[in-house]
Structure 1
Amino acid sequence: MTVALETVLLAVGPGDANRTDELSDALLEVAAPADATVVLAHVFTSDEYDEVLERLEFETGADVDPDEVAARHSTIRELRTALEEHGVEYEVRGTVGDHGPSIVDLALDVDADRVLVGGRRRSPAGKAVFGSTAQEVLLSSPCPVTFVRGEE
């Protein structure tokens, strides 16, 4: 039985800046044929969020929407460009919290049919274990998860 994909969540974080090509290829492979809507989500820890606010020169003390911060982040901008080139509908979400639980919460919030998360190539001994974020998402997600391995 094939499940129709209506919503695909791609969650990125600080470690994904060098694997946008792999992530966009995997995302397009899953979402484009299904004509699914993509939710591009950037998950920040509190410290990462504060650093990004400073780096992107948001007004100090202003109440800034995490969706706006995510939309201005370079990783999301690169992924948006790839989706726009292929005519894929998308929305951008930003959230602040622990990476794994925040991704699972976003998957529930957007009623995702598939979640994509990135990770890095590991040594032979490390191949049996995913990173803690990927592992938590794989074990706790309400829908199937695709792990996109980078070429690092």
Structure 2
Amino acid sequence: MYEVLLPVDESDERATAQATAITDLPGDADEIHVTIFHSFTDNPSGASVSQLQSARRARDVLEEAGIEYTMDESSGQPATEILDVAEELDADLVCLGGRKRSPAGKVLFGSVTQSVLLDTDRSVLIAHTDEEDED
């Protein structure tokens, strides 16, 4: 079984792109298991990952492709939580959502994607969208 970690944020477009990238992986759907994951940094209402529209979009894409999945969540800094969950799952692949970033956006804001890429020894797939950060 090929274990994939699919961390989602609040972007439906990125979550859909990530799930679609997973459906395009070689091999049979029944050989892949995906954990759809979200790390809450501020969650006063007590929401769960299954309540996030982005997680539901990713789930729908995976279900349509016949790929088995589970949903998981935690609280904390997203990059740290992603790395910890990837380790716990012994994930073969982490599929992150990328986006275009302006030069100012790259300097001013930290990047979860960049942190995960620099701090993991696991394979990382970046599923790009046309979304762009605003400065």
1:82 to 17, 40, 61: 61
Structure with larger Rg:
1
TM value normalised by structure 2: 0.82
If each structure's strand is expressed as a fraction of its own residues, which one has the higher value?
A: 2
Classify 1:22/1:32 alpha carbon distance in 2 versus 1 (closer, same or farther; 3 Å).
Answer: farther
Give identity over the alignment, percent.
Answer: 33
Alignment pair present for 1:71 and 2:50? yes
- TM-superposed CA distance for 1:134, in Å, is 0.6
Deviations 1:110-151 (A, max 9, x none): 11000011121123x469889521111001123111122221
Classify 1:98/1:92 alpha carbon distance in 2 versus 1 (closer, same or farther; 3 Å).
Answer: same
Alignment pair present for 1:136 and 2:115? yes
Letter of the 1:142 partner, please give it: D
- Residues 9 and 15 in structure 2, CA contact (< 8 A), matched pair in contact too: no
Deviations 1:53-98 (A, max 9, x none): 3xx5xxxxxxxxxxxx112221111111111111101111111100
Measure the CA separation in 2 of the matches of 1:30 and 1:89.
14
Q: What RMSD, in angstroms, separates the aligned Cα atoms of the two structures? A: 2.4
Gaps of 5+ in 1: 57-68
If each structure's helix is expressed as a fraction of its own residues, which one has the higher value?
A: 1
TM value normalised by structure 1: 0.74
Match of 1:29 in 2: 24
Gaps of 5+ in 2: none
Measure the CA separation in 2 of the matches of 1:131 and 1:32.
35
How many residues matched?
129
- Greater shift, 113-122 or 20-29, is seen at 20-29
Measure the CA separation in 2 of the matches of 1:84 and 1:101.
28
Match of 2:72 in 1: 93
